[in-house]
């Protein structure tokens, strides 16, 4: 009987370089509190956020993705033509089809033979993508993978909504992954709890538009059940993060850097304490002045730590994403040496 041929496992994977692009507008708490009937102190006490970064109207989510992707390619010194797959994690791409990834791949100069697809796992999307890219490379399906987390969530923010609008930011973070002779990315621990799927959502789908003539009169807006999400994150997330550390053959004291989804400073600090990390561990707190950028938050936080020198290549970082779904994913990675880009968004051309 003739047997099928399959790809040959090719060892391990690693992150070669990262890049980022943040929304170019700095929006302070004082600029958004009046319609919400709250104060700067109210936001700081509940979330730790002082400012958030948002993109101007003429900067689209694919612009952010392309800028971050180009920066990661530059940092990794990988030619776009050598990318075998482009994965874009996003919850804010506004077209049902095609996905954003093929458009971004073409704009960056990837070969038509490169796979390109979107992942929508909410704020866990980038960490989902790390698990997929790692598997692709280890199995021999791909040699180099460009992974991008990109969000322009500000158009989905209702300025009168107290549940989520005041935490929303815009940005994109990216990483190029390639082969390694030794393990530099630990196993991914992931999952979801669809019984809480309505805890983070948008008000309605594109098919639910309400029209007056030819013009839509209602735009989908983001909502969340804040107390429910907080309780779930602080009680459940530490368990799965601990599993990711154990799956990598490590102990909490082996972790040098903690890069959780930048949802809320109270959640970040609570999870860090529950994990029993070292007192000197570097904890990403990008949420304070960037806001919650969903699938972009983990790579943006990583990019910033490396660019500013708070963390450095070779350190072991626990990264964790969690959000709508409720989806979650975590893994331990060795940080790369290279970071690229200026960290600011701009309109193409």
Supply the residues annotated as catalytic.
123, 261, 292
From CA 107, how far away is CA 110, in angstroms rounded?
A: 8
Q: What tokens were used for 262?
A: 């930048």
User: Is the CB of residue 173 less than 8 Å from the CB of residue 13?
Assistant: no
- Cα–Cα distances in angstroms (integers) from residue 38 to residues 44, 201, 282, 287, in the given order: 11, 23, 32, 19
* DSSP conformation letters of 258-272: EEE--S-HHHHHHHH
Residues sharing a CB contact under 8 Å with residue 157, sequence separation 6 or more, in sequence order: 164, 165, 168, 221, 222
Supply angle C-alpha 132, 134, 135, rounded to 5: 65
- Coarse DSSP helix, strand, coil percentages of the chain, rounded to the nearest 5 percent: 40, 25, 35
Among residues 59, 155, 126, the alpha carbon closest in space to that of 294 is found at: 126
Enumerate residues 6+ apart whose C-beta is below 8 A from 346: 21, 24, 59, 63, 67
Compute CA distances 211 → 204, 218, 224, whole Å.
Answer: 14, 8, 25
Burial of 7-19, coded b for 16+ CB within 10 Å and e otherwise, reads eeebeebbbbbbb
Total H helices, total E strands in the chain: 9, 17
> In terms of DSSP bridges, do strands 211-212 and 222-224 run parallel, antiparallel, or are they unpaired?
unpaired
Check residue 30 and report its DSSP letter.
Answer: G
């Amino acid at each position: 009987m003739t047997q099928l041929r399959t790809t040959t496992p090719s060892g391990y994977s690693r992150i070669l370089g990262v890049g980022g692009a943040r929304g170019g507008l700095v929006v302070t708490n004082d600029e958004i509190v009046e319609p919400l009937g709250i104060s700067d102190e109210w936001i700081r006490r509940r979330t730790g956020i002082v400012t958030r970064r948002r993109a101007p109207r003429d900067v689209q989510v694919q612009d952010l993705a392309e800028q971050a992707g180009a920066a990661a390619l530059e940092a990794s010194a990988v030619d776009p033509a050598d990318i075998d797959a482009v994965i874009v994690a996003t919850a804010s791409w506004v077209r049902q089809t095609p996905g954003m990834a093929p458009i971004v791949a073409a704009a960056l100069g990837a070969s038509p033979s490169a796979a390109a697809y979107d992942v929508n796992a909410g704020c866990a999307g980038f960490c989902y993508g790390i698990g997929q890219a790692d598997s692709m490379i280890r199995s021999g399906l791909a040699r180099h993978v460009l992974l991008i987390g990109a969000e322009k969530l500000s158009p989905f923010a209702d300025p009168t909504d107290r549940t989520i609008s005041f935490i929303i930011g815009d940005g994109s973070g990216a990483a190029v992954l390639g082969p390694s002779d030794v393990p530099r990315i630990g196993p991914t621990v992931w999952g979801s709890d669809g019984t809480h799927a309505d805890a983070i959502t948008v008000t309605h789908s594109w098919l639910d538009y309400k029209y007056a003539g030819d013009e839509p009169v209602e735009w989908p807006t983001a909502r969340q059940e804040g107390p429910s999400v907080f309780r779930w994150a602080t009680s459940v997330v530490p368990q799965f993060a601990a599993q990711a550390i154990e799956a990598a053959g490590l102990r909490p004291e082996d972790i040098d850097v903690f890069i959780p989804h930048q949802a809320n400073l109270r959640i970040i600090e609570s999870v860090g304490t529950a994990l029993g990390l070292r007192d000197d561990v570097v904890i990403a707190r990008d949420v304070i002045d960037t806001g919650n950028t969903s699938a972009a938050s983990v790579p943006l936080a990583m990019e910033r730590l490396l660019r500013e020198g708070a963390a450095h290549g070779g350190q072991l970082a626990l990264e964790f994403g969690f959000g709508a779904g409720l989806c979650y994913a975590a893994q331990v990675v060795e940080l790369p040496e290279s970071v690229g880009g200026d960290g600011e968004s701009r309109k193409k051309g």
